[in-house]
Structure 1
Amino acid sequence: MKRTIKPRAVLLWALGVLSIAGLAFAAQTLTRIAPIGTGYAAKILCTGVFVSGRSAGEVIREDIRAGVHPLLHLISPTIDVKARRARATFLGMAAREAWFRPGLGCTLQIGDHDGPVALPDLRPLDKPNPPAPLAKTTDEPNRNTLQAAIDSAFDEPDASRPRRTRAVVVLYDGKVIAERYAPGFSAQTPLIGWSMSKTVVAALVGVLVGQGKLSLDATRLLPEWSANDDPRSRISLDELLRMTSGLQFNEDYDDPLSDVAVMLFAKADQSAFAAGKPLVSTPGARWNYSSGTTEILARVMRRALGGTEQDYLAFPSRALFEPLGMRTAVFEPDASGVLVGASFVCASAIDWARFGQLLLQDGIWEGKRVLPAGWVRYMRTVTTQSPRRDYGAQVWVKVPEPFNSRASPPPALPPDAFHLVGHEGQFVSVVPGRKLVVVRLGLSRPEEAWDHETFLARLIEAIALDASIHPLPAQTQ
Structure 2
Amino acid sequence: MIKFFKKIRQRHLLATIFLASNYLGFSQQTETYDYLKSQREMIQRGIQAVLTCNGLFTSNRTLKQVYDKELKYIDNPIGNAKSGDYKIDWDRKSVTIGSVENPPLMRAVFREGIGSIILAPNQTFDVIDSLPIQSLPIIKGNPAITPWPEGDFIPEQKLPDYINTNLIAQASKWSFQRESPEQVTISLLIVHKGQIIHERYAEGIDMYTKTRTWSVAKSIAVTLIGMMVDQGKMELDAPLGVEWLPKKESSENDPRADITLRNVLNMSSGLYPADNQNLRDATGSGLSYWAGVSSEKAARNRGLIRKPGTYWDYENYDILLGVLAMKKALGNNRTYIEFPRKALFDKISMRNTFASTDRFGDFILSSQVYTTARDLARFGMLYEQNGVWNNTRLLSENWIDFIRTPAPLNGQSNLLYGGQWWLVEDKRNDIPKDAYAAIGNRGQFLIVVPSYDLVIVRRGLDYGKQGFNEWNLTREVLKAFPVDYKTSDE
Structure 1, unmatched stretches of 5+, are 1-21, 401-408, 469-477
Match of 1:158 among 133, 158, 180: 180
- TM-aligned CA distance change 1:410 to 1:361, over 3 Å: closer
Shift in Å, 1:384 = 2.8
Distance in 2 (alpha carbons) for counterparts of 1:392 and 1:72: 39
CA shift in 2, pair 1:467/1:384, >3 Å: same
Residues in 2 aligned to 1:67 and 1:315: alpha-carbon distance in whole angstroms: 31
Query: Structure 1 residues 267, 119: CA separation in 2 closer, same or farther (over 3 Å shift)?
Result: closer
Confirm whether residue 191 of structure 1 aligns to residue 211 of structure 2: yes
Matched with 2:407 is 383
Give, in angstroms, the shift of residue 83 of structure 1. 0.5
Residue equivalent to 1:6? none
Q: How far apart are 1:25 and its partner, in Å?
A: 5.0
Contact 1:250 1:258 in 2 (8 A): yes
The match for 1:242 among 262, 266, 283 is 266
Which residues in structure 2 correspond to 1:247-396 (within 5 Å)?
Answer: 247-252=271-276, 256-307=281-332, 309-386=333-410, 387=412, 388=414, 390-396=416-422
**Which position in structure 1 is the counterpart of 2:462?**
444
Distance 1:231 1:81 in 2: 49
- Structure 2 length normalisation: TM-score? 0.82
When normalised by structure 1's length, the TM-score is 0.84
Q: 1:121 corresponds to which residue?
A: 133
* Whole-angstrom distance in 1 between the partners of 2:283 and 2:430: 34
Deviations 1:213-249, CA, capped at 9 Å, x for gaps: 1111221521237932111111001111111110112
* Residue from 33, 39, 47 that aligns with 1:32: 39
Where do 5+ consecutive residues of structure 2 fail to align? Answer: 1-29
Quick one: distance in 2 between partners of 1:346 and 1:367?
27
Higher Rg: 2
Q: Determine the structure 2 residue equivalent to 1:232.
A: 256
Name the counterpart of 1:133: 148
Measured after TM superposition, the shift of residue 392 of structure 1 is 0.5
Q: Whole-Å Cα distance in 2 between the matches of residues 207 and 413 of structure 1? A: 29
1:110 correspondence with 2:85: no
In structure 1, C-alpha distance between the alignment counterparts of 2:190 and 2:417, rounded to whole Å: 23
Q: Distance in 2 between matches of 1:269 and 1:158?
A: 37
In 2, Cα distance between the equivalents of 1:46 and 1:31? 23
Distance 2:489 2:112 in 1: 44
Q: Distance in 2 between matches of 1:304 and 1:286?
A: 27
Tell me, yes or no, if the aligned pair for 2:240 and 2:257 is still in contact at 8 Å. Answer: yes
> 1:422 offset after TM fit, Å?
0.1
CA RMSD of aligned residues (A): 2.7
Q: Distance in 2 between matches of 1:253 and 1:332?
A: 27
Structure 1 pair 87–411 and aligned structure 2 pair: CA distance change class (3 A): farther
CA distance in 2, matches of 1:124, 1:263: 26
Q: How far is the alpha carbon of 1:369 from its aligned partner?
A: 1.0
- Give the Cα–Cα distance (whole angstroms) in 2 for the partners of residues 220 and 298 of structure 1: 10
Aligned-residue offset at 1:50: 1.0
- Counterpart Cα distance in 1 of 2:70 and 2:180: 19
- Which amino acid counterpart does residue 260 of structure 1 have in structure 2? S
Aligned residues of 1:107 and 1:335 also touching (Cα < 8 A) = yes
Structure-2 change in CA distance of 1:34 and 1:220 (3 Å): same
Shift, 1:34, TM fit: 1.9
How many residue pairs get aligned? The number is: 431
Percent identity (aligned): 26
Inter-CA distance 48–112: structure 2 relative to 1 (3 Å threshold)? closer
Aligned-pair distance for 1:448? 4.0
> What is the identity, as a one-letter code, of the residue corresponding to 1:108?
I
The secondary structure found in structure 2 opposite 1:194 is: coil
Shift of 1:120: 4.2
Q: Which residue identity lines up with residue 68 of structure 2 in the other structure?
A: R
Whether the aligned pair in 1 keeps the contact of 2:105 and 2:121 (CA below 8 Å) is no
Asked if the contact 2:345/2:351 (under 8 Å) is kept, the reply is yes
